[in-house]
Amino acid sequence: MGRQRGGPYRILSAICVVALMHASADAQESGTIRGAVTFGDAGEPVHGAVVLVVGPSLVTLTEEDGTYEITNVPPGSHEVIAQREHLSAARQSVAVPSGADVTANFTLGLSTVHEELTVTATAGGRTTAFDAFNAISTLDSFELISDPQPTLADALENEPGVAKRSFGPGSSRPIIRGFDGDRVLIMEDGIRTGDLGAQSGDHGVTIDPNSLDRVEIVRGPATLLYGSNAVGGVVNAITPHESYLDSMTDGTRGQVSADTGSADQQAGTNASLQHTDGNAILWLGGGTRATDDYSTPQGAIENSATQLHSARAGIGYFGDRLFASGGFTAENSLFGVPFVGALTADVDAGIDTVGSPDTLEDDVQVELDSRRRVGRFDIGMRNLNHTVVDGVRLVFNVVDWEHTEVETEGGSKRLGTAFDNRTYVLRAEVDQRQTARLAGKFGVWTQARDFIAVGEEALTPPTDQTSFAAFVYEELELGRYRVQLGGRLERNSYSVLPRAALDTESAGAPGAPIASPVRDRDFTGSSVSAGLQTDVGPHIAFVTNVTRSHRAPALEELYNFGPHVGNLVFEVGNPDLGSETTVGLDVSLRYQSPRARSSVNAYVYDIDDFVFASITGAVVDRLRVAEFRQADSRFVGFDADASARVGDAFWVNVGVGFVDAELDTGEALPRIPPLRGRISLDLPYRGFTVSPELIIAAQQDQVFRDETETSGYSVFNLTASYILARPHVAHIVSVTGYNLTNALYRNHTSFIKDFAPEIGRGVRFGYSVRFF
């Protein structure tokens, strides 16, 4: 019998049809929840607080007088929360009869622990991390400014299951559950950033975390909504204006922040403003940030300074049905790449020994000068209450990314390599009308990418990549059970020009690798998922997800050939690579009550034809040769976090993450984070909070062929903050002492860990004023 064709298409079509039929059949007369949100015993009205109906994911902001109204609430019992970052209140269970109006009032107070809201991996709008199917962590703007960090990866690295890859501070990028590069998707407001941070260890992410309203980390496969490559997870950086577009109220909101630090001479400032008048919204924002060479217990790391400048602006119209908005973002970044010249001068220097920063003489200094320009236009319709479709959104996004690698030797500068990466994204998404039992969305996504590199590290010939995907994601509530079903069909096509002649010292020498002829490639694959969430006791939820996903090889894995200093290898791509197939199982147990909350997540991913850079033992241009090959692999691990209130005095917080990743031969994969945990206390007194923190990492002795082992370490930090909160304004002052014992420690996932220890003892100061 011949194989039946069209299976993935049938799966997607069936899910869509069943969802729409169910939505139509389940329609009942909706109700309304209204009330007021006040602050403290004085009962002052709170403007701009988020009020969320969990489940249907209906959200609004409070008006000037603290009142709110949420319409089109499906009949039934719903959990409702209200909070405004630093201010929070307990959940309320609200019963909404068919067609009825219900009142629910909230009183907010200062709290160190609050609900984590997310929009990244949901079937509808916002929901909470406790109610989501994926394992999710969020950092809001108050948490980000309480300990201002120079890069996005620095801000996230202490979250469970997250680590930091780097080739110096400016090139840092998040690792999630041991996955790096193309397998971790970085987004800004739900759209890919369009940079080249995934392609090389010395490329970074140029988003300033201190300019964001919130950062969401989705651990585990998020391939269904955002891309087949996101096997490890997604980081979604959400800007201030994006948080208000689905729930506008008249008025002006914004913030002004500044910070400084000692061990790296950190200095930064940023500001943002969103003004709403009727149906119109205007937003502005920008900032600048710089660090000098950072200090360690062994001395300063030369050429590790960074600079970042950013600006954004936009306007929008949001009527009852029709909405449209347009915005522009500009970022300029400059950072040094330490030890590049010295490490390539002697291939054995940085691989077989561990030394101090002055062990190597870096005669050639390399800086990466980048610019990112983003234009985005959104248009759509919402509140289509009399159909099975609630809303439609069309997003068109253009990203122009350029960066040059500038080499300085003997006081003279020269251009090493220049990169130009331009992407065009079109995303159309349909939100179903949410009912008491069903929520979901479906849509299509397409991306066109033009990539060109010129210079001595132009490893990849000019390539055009075209991607297209159709996706559907549904959540169905059946009593105490919730079921998640989803599917994605994605096609990636590469069109490549002939490779230019390679100018290397060993080109054509005996034993030197030979570049395979490049050729166009096409990959089509389907991803499907199923999940179950159920209450297993008071305040306890059990969640399990099974995912089968497909990942096409990345451009660099197919076509790179030549000396890649950013990865410290001579890379040999393989244009004959096939697609990866991942079968994953995620299990989560969550607990949440007014006095405690926790989440324990375990996972196993079996990956067929895993693509990795295999060290061959040959040396070319003083770099070890690494060929992209495929083998089966397995990732097994867990991440967990918990917070508990001790008496009425303070909170204890614990987080831990561990992953074991290896090939089916038993050989460990490169740069896998060690077992790492943190424990902290939150000691509040009125507006003051003191938070001592201890971070502990175990020794990493499961290493790849060319890696050295990394010793374990412990680092002690102490943060003190003060919040002066009022209904329309909040002042936040923070002081953080980091690595107070001046411990000498190394980050196993750093390419230059053997010669660049992590930052030594220092102090950071931050101040922010928020107005609502």
Q: How far apart are CA 440 and CA 484, in angstroms?
A: 9
Q: Which domain holds residue 650?
A: 7-25+113-771
pLDDT tens-digit readout, 110-123: 777 778 888 777 77
Residue 67 lies in a domain: no
Mean pLDDT of 230-252: 83
Residue 79 lies in a domain: no
Residue 697 lies in a domain: yes
Largest CA distance in the chain: 82
Residue 605 lies in a domain: yes
Pairing of strands 184-188, 233-238: parallel
Q: In this structure, what are the phi and psi dihedrals at residue 538, rounded to the nearest 5 degrees?
A: -60, 125
| Structure confidence at residue 268 as a pLDDT band (50, 70, 90) | very high
Mean pLDDT of 18-34: 63
The number of folded domains in the chain is: 1
Query: 137 vs 24, which has greater pLDDT?
Result: 137
Query: With pLDDT > 70 as the criterion, what percentage of the chain qualifies?
Result: 91
Residue 389 lies in a domain: yes
Residue 81 lies in a domain: no
Q: In the predicted model, is pLDDT for residue 448 greater than 60?
A: yes
Query: With pLDDT > 90 as the criterion, what percentage of the chain qualifies?
Result: 60
Q: How far apart are CA 591 and CA 262, in angstroms?
A: 39
Residue 39 lies in a domain: no
What's the number of CA atoms in the CB half-sphere (13 Å) around residue 323? 26
CATH number of the domain within which 342 lies: 2.40.170.20
Q: In the predicted model, is pLDDT for residue 506 greater than 70?
A: no
For the chain, give the mean pLDDT.
Answer: 88
pLDDT tens-digit readout, 282-293: 999 999 999 999
pLDDT tens-digit readout, 703-713: 998 889 999 99
pLDDT number for residue 177: 95
pLDDT tens-digit readout, 385-441: 777 888 999 999 999 999 999 888 877 888 889 999 999 999 999 988 877 788 889
Q: In the predicted model, is pLDDT for residue 504 greater than 60?
A: no
Q: What is the DSSP string of 207-274?
A: --GGG-SEEEEEES--HHHH-TT-SSEEEEEE-HHHHHTTS--SEEEEEEEEEEESTT--EEEEEEEE
Q: What is the DSSP string of 192-208?
A: E---STTT-TT------
Residue 660 lies in a domain: yes
Q: In the predicted model, is pLDDT for residue 9 greater than 60?
A: no
Nearest to 331, CA basis, from 359, 302, 373: 373
Q: Give me 150's structure tokens.
A: 């120079």
Q: In the predicted model, is pLDDT for residue 125 greater than 60?
A: yes
